[in-house]
Structure 1
Amino acid sequence: MTTASENWWNPETYARRRPNLVKRTHVLNGIRQHFLDQDFVEAETPALQISPGLEPHLQAFETRLTTPDGRQAQLYLHTSPEFACKKLLVAGEKRLFTLARVFRNAEASSLHHPEFTLLEWYRAQEGYEVLMQDCQDMLRAIARRLQQTSIIWKGQQVDLFQPWEHLSVTEAFQHYANIDLLATTEDPWKPDAGLLAEAARQQGIRTAEDDDWQAVFTRILLEKIEPHLGYSTPTILYDYPVSQAALSRPKPSDPRLAERFELYIAGVELANAFGELTDASEQRRRFEADCREKQRIYGQRYPIDEDFLAALDQGMPEAAGIALGVDRLVMLFTGAEDIEEVLWAPVRPGQSLNDADSR
């Protein structure tokens, strides 16, 4: 593991990391080849956006654009290429993928880096179930390229070629936490925080008086469920409560749920997928709710991308889309336990952070 005091370019440090970086190249080549073989086009989307993404807990990097005549505009480095990709679906693309450099502030851990690589792909006129098969096919294709049949991470072996586990969120809460999740969602859009908190406390999970339903849901997921996911084979955790829909659409057969799934391997969340919401008015409602929540929690808000809503209003086709963390994928294939071990040139705050703290 590279420590904060080590220079990543130190020859000895770099030599230790280089096998991971070579394998990273093979993984990226495998991703591209897989999608090109499936008649996808590779899109390049701009990192500079009017809106960086509106999930309440995401923190963006801000910058200013200056025109030649001196006018200025507030812009952000995107946290995901999602808005641009969906505009391309409106424009007429049917299958596209992008390997985007994305940016998230206030995130740093063994699994998080402020600048990282996100793979996103989208299929028009297809459902989110097809993306589940895509995940399986792509990871197996990469494994064959690397001459691997399994992933070994933190001493755990995950077989990519055995049948994958498919587990609904409600099944996972019942099995691993002994909680009837849907009993707390009589009103799907305003679930009962008190009921869920009481159920959590009965399972030994600490809650706070001011916890909302989402906070309790996330704590149960982190403490009771995620540690069991993606061992022996990968796990697809699907059909989230609709209050956790993000940019996904409600499930037609059960409006309490959303067409959303996440992929886990060895307890690591690797991908997040949606049956995409195409209703512009509903998307605006969710954006505005997210902005209010960010204002409540952090005292700030980001602008809504009106151009994105205009594209949805013009007519985005039915579609499914997914985002997968490439750096985490490389970590799993190499066995690296820290994200910096699979980055060519990690971002370090250096002395400037200390200088700022001392002022």
Structure 2
Amino acid sequence: MSETLWQPSASIQVLKQKAQIINKIRCFFAQRQVLEVDTPSLSQACVSDVHLHSFSTTLTGPAAPHSQQLYLQTSPEFHMKRLLAAGSGCIYQIAKAFRNEEAGRLHNPEFTMLEWYRLGFDHFALMDEIDVLLEQALGWQHAERLTYVEAFERHLGINPLSATQVEFIESAAAFNVADLVAQETERDTVLQLLFSLGVEPHIGQQRPCFVYHFPASQAALAKISAEDPQVAERFELYYKGVELANGFHELTDAAEQAERFARDQHSRARQGLPPAQIDQRFLAALSVGLPACAGVALGIDRLLMLALDESRLQAVQSFSIERA
């Protein structure tokens, strides 16, 4: 083992700058009377999204004499929405999240997430607030806004909602993945591949960019648009080719949410993934009533990486997974 691996990944100066920025974020929410909360990192349930992979562990001993499987949260979302249903009002959290995925320039299995929920907001009002936060905390310019369709049409010349398989293959040829696209049966997988190769590298280069109104099939936990049922009231924020945030005008219908979880389970089965342990407590909270709200999860490490002009996530983390 290298004699230097005991040292932090980030310099002490960067850690001081990080603390200052996080303090500005906390002041921003305090000024708006948004309550800071703290929710569990361990849960008895996990997410069903086929693109998210949870770490699991086993609880043994007096707390669980027959042993119990627990999961590290990929996001504090479900617990926070249970607080909203219990009457918390507007809330935010700066929390550790865990995803069992690759470690690289933009990924670490353990990372810091800023997540917040605003009652009475839709996705447009929340994008407005994110703009103000980033301007006040980091001095960034206000973000450009593009619909998902506009982003595809501008950078790939196709409409993602109506494009044919032939058009997808033709677009994929420019990135040498035509054969892969031709064999893929999941339309959303093709869209995500083309978005990552043909759209992400070009948007938000000079200033941040919101992409909103994703296909309804990619709604996750967002409402479907009442004006256009082909799209969901969901947005993502990009800057310099990096995805920073994912936000929703939140779905509040428990029955619809249960149906989406069921569809996720079918997708997991088709892809050979184990079934997810669905969060029944979250569904119960939705049944009682989640207030109309919008919410967003923002990657603090990626935000700081860009704000401090670093090239790797690890440069703003005290100890990356290689040094943990």
TM > 0.5 = yes
The one-letter code matched in structure 2 to 1:281 is A
Are 2:48 and 2:264, in contact at CA under 8 Å, matched by a contact in 1? Answer: yes
Cα gap change, 1:8 to 1:334, in 2 (>3 Å): farther
Once residues 295 and 76 of structure 1 are traced to their aligned partners in structure 2, the CA distance between those partners, rounded to angstroms, is: 20
The one-letter code matched in structure 2 to 1:287 is F
1:230 corresponds to which of 204, 219, 229: 204
User: TM-score, length-normalised on structure 2?
Assistant: 0.93
Once residues 15 and 3 of structure 2 are traced to their aligned partners in structure 1, the CA distance between those partners, rounded to angstroms, is: 18
Once residues 247 and 94 of structure 1 are traced to their aligned partners in structure 2, the CA distance between those partners, rounded to angstroms, is: 19
1:62 corresponds to which of 37, 43, 56: 56
Residue number in structure 2 paired with 1:181 = 160
User: TM-score, length-normalised on structure 1?
Assistant: 0.84
Are 1:179 and 1:199, in contact at CA under 8 Å, matched by a contact in 2? Answer: no
Residue number in structure 2 paired with 1:91 = 86
Residue number in structure 1 paired with 2:280 = 306
Cα gap change, 1:106 to 1:164, in 2 (>3 Å): closer
Once residues 289 and 96 of structure 1 are traced to their aligned partners in structure 2, the CA distance between those partners, rounded to angstroms, is: 29
Residue number in structure 1 paired with 2:23 = 29
1:43 corresponds to which of 27, 37, 43: 37
Residue number in structure 2 paired with 1:52 = 46
Are 1:249 and 1:275, in contact at CA under 8 Å, matched by a contact in 2? Answer: yes
Residue number in structure 2 paired with 1:126 = 121
Gaps of 5+ in 1: 144-148, 150-159, 185-191, 351-359
After superposition, give the CA deviation of every residue in 1:180-226 in whole Å (9 maximum; x if it has no partner): 22224xxxxxxx7x356345346565224134101110111011100
Larger relative contact order (Cα-Cα within 8 Å, sequence gap ≥ 6): 2
Q: Does 1:166 align with 2:145?
A: yes
Residue identity over aligned pairs, in percent, reads 38
2:97 corresponds to which of 102, 105, 109: 102
Q: CA deviation at 1:71?
A: 2.9
Are 1:196 and 1:216, in contact at CA under 8 Å, matched by a contact in 2? Answer: no
Please state whether the residue corresponding to 2:97 is helix, strand or coil.
strand
Moved over 6 A (4+): none
Are 2:225 and 2:233, in contact at CA under 8 Å, matched by a contact in 1? Answer: yes
Once residues 269 and 30 of structure 1 are traced to their aligned partners in structure 2, the CA distance between those partners, rounded to angstroms, is: 22
Are 2:184 and 2:190, in contact at CA under 8 Å, matched by a contact in 1? Answer: no
Gaps of 5+ in 2: none
Q: Does 1:7 align with 2:7?
A: no
Q: How many residues are aligned here?
A: 320
Q: Does 1:346 align with 2:320?
A: yes
Once residues 62 and 118 of structure 1 are traced to their aligned partners in structure 2, the CA distance between those partners, rounded to angstroms, is: 19
